[in-house]
Amino acid sequence: MAIKNLFKLSNPAREKESNYHQFEAVFDFATIGMVIVNSDGVITNFNKFAEQQFGYGKDEVIGGTVEMLLPGPITKRHVGHREGFVKSPTNRPMGSGRDLFAKRKDGTVFPVEISLSHYTRNNESYVIAFIIDITVRKNNEIALKESTDRIQQINVELEQKVDGRTKMLRETLAELEGSKEELNEALKKERELGDLKSRFVTLASHEFRTPLSTILSSASLIDKYLKEEEHPKRKKHVDRIKEAVGNMRDILEDFLSLGKLEEGQIDVNMEELTNEQLRDDLSRVVASMEQLTKPGQKISVECSVTSSVKLDRKLTGNIISNLLSNAIKFSPDHSEIFIRCKSEKKLLSIEVQDSGIGISEEDQKHLFERFFRAKNAANIQGTGLGLNIVVKYLELMGGRILCNSDIDEGTTFTVQIPQ
């Protein structure tokens, strides 16, 4: 009976010993490096695969700290990490995203993946480190990255070459398109100039006929009034000749101005004028235009500008002359024409107001078009170019013109030049 009980007691011991030998076999012949350390970081076991990985014999490392297997720069940090792990042990699987390195006996460093596990035996904590040398994998990754980078570089170079060729093609096409547009624009300008010349010949032959007939008729009649008492009659015909010549001059000036504008021969010279210079310029323009006024007509100037202004004196003078010429032409005898100028909110405004025949709302839509003439002005001599020229002069100075008019109630043109 005692022998039977002895066998019963010995079976667990044999089973435990068998398990231990199995563990030793697994530990020693595993195809992964395995290192066991205690809570103080002292190596207590070191398998054969770890010996191959690190170049140490088992007897050389047992009793040493695990930091002997690490590169110098990280050994101090590792002590803190190890102590923290012992206090709060948590299993860590392989490939946790950290770049880890180990050191061989010969001092060479190699990349590794490490999985950590822990267990307790006889109230003593142990940590098992499972170690894989990933040098080959890292080399393959580097080679793959280099190949990928090279392929990407080749792709970039190819894209750049394609982009370069595409850009060159686009530039060539753009140049061709630009040349085509320039040619079309030149042809358009040529047609416009041809049309302008044709219109000029037609208009000139029509518009010149009246003043030339007037000149011829008045010149013939002057010969008949030779006596002193017939001086008023002579003066009447002399005035008619002057008016006819003035009309012919206006027609020629309009066409010459338009021709220069079309060919881009008008230069803009913006000058800064004092308010006194502005008033003097207005006075000179008015004085020259007063020679063309009808009997009893008066031109009044009101200028409230107190600061300096910036404009092209020649272009502005031509603009005011043109507007005054229209005001005189379309206003009755014994009427007053006003010129008002003021400067506010960085804008110089010049108004020319008359009490003439006015312009219908429908005609105002086309007022600034080339050769346009209002319906109620058909019997009054003119080219239909003056206001179109005014608009182009103002565009050169960055300005604009506004019109406010009613039939038989006069017209006010407002010129605005930015300051």
User: From the centroid of its chain, how far is CA 167?
Assistant: 20
pLDDT digits (tens, 9 = 90+) for 308-322: 999 999 999 999 999
Which residues, listed in sequence order, are joined to residue 103 by a DSSP beta bridge? Answer: 109
**276 with 301, same domain?**
yes
Question: What are the distances in angstroms from CA 297 to CA 259, 275, 340?
Answer: 32, 27, 17
Q: What percent of the chain has pLDDT over 70?
A: 86
**37 with 113, same domain?**
yes
Higher pLDDT, 383 or 387: 387
Which residues, listed in sequence order, are joined to residue 405 by a DSSP beta bridge? Answer: 411
Read off φ and ψ for residue 416, nearest 5 degrees.
-125, 125
Rounded CA-CA distance 39/128 in Å is 11
> Nearest to residue 339, comparing CAs of 315, 358, 357, 319?
319
Dihedral angle, C-alpha 70, 72, 75, 76, nearest 10 °: 180
CA angle 156, 157, 160 (to 5 degrees): 85
Q: How confident is the model at residue 4, as a pLDDT?
A: 44
> Nearest to residue 137, comparing CAs of 92, 183, 99?
99
pLDDT digits (tens, 9 = 90+) for 337-386: 999 999 988 999 999 999 999 999 999 999 999 889 899 887 787 778 88
1 in a domain, yes or no?
no
Contact by Cβ (8 Å): 200, 192: no
**224 with 355, same domain?**
no
> Nearest to residue 219, comparing CAs of 244, 238, 245?
238
Count Cα atoms within 13 angstroms, Cβ side, for 354.
24
**320 with 372, same domain?**
yes
In 152-285 the beta strands, taken as DSSP E runs, fall at 271-273
pTM for the structure as a whole? 0.49
Q: Tokens in use for 145?
A: 């990255």
> Nearest to residue 395, comparing CAs of 406, 387, 403, 404?
387
Which residues, listed in sequence order, are joined to residue 33 by a DSSP beta bridge? Answer: 131
Q: How confident is the model at residue 211 (pLDDT cuts 50, 70, 90)?
A: low
Give the 3-state secondary structure of residue 225. coil
Higher pLDDT, 200 or 405: 405
Read off φ and ψ for residue 407, nearest 5 degrees.
-55, 130
Residues 6+ apart with CB under 8 A from 67: 41, 75, 78, 79
Total number of domains constituting the chain: 4
For every residue of 269-325, DSSP letters joined together read --EEE-HHHHHHHHHHHHHHHGGGPPTT-EEEEEE---S-EEE-HHHHHHHHHHHHH
8 in a domain, yes or no?
no
> Nearest to residue 254, comparing CAs of 200, 178, 329, 186?
200
275 in a domain, yes or no?
yes
Rounded CA-CA distance 29/47 in Å is 7
CA angle 326, 328, 334 (to 5 degrees): 155
**43 with 104, same domain?**
yes
pLDDT digits (tens, 9 = 90+) for 120-153: 888 889 999 999 999 998 988 888 898 888 888 8
Among 72-76, 95-99, 155-159, 310-314, the range of highest mean pLDDT: 310-314
Choose the final residue of a domain: 265, 283, 299.
Answer: 265
Q: What is the CA radius of gyration of the chain?
A: 53
**157 with 191, same domain?**
yes
Choose the final residue of a domain: 133, 167, 185.
Answer: 133
Residues 6+ apart with CB under 8 A from 351: 338, 339, 340, 341, 412, 413, 414, 415
**282 with 333, same domain?**
yes
17 in a domain, yes or no?
no
**363 with 229, same domain?**
no
Choose the final residue of a domain: 183, 204, 225.
Answer: 204
**254 with 317, same domain?**
no
Q: Tokens in use for 366?
A: 């086309």
Domain that holds residue 72: 31-133
**297 with 366, same domain?**
yes
Rounded CA-CA distance 279/311 in Å is 13
Q: Tokens in use for 349?
A: 């405004």
60 in a domain, yes or no?
yes
Question: How would you classify the pairing of strands 336-344 and 347-353?
Answer: antiparallel
181 in a domain, yes or no?
yes
**223 with 270, same domain?**
no
- CATH number, domain at 316? 3.30.565.10
Q: How confident is the model at residue 196, as a pLDDT?
A: 63
**301 with 364, same domain?**
yes
80 in a domain, yes or no?
yes
222 in a domain, yes or no?
yes
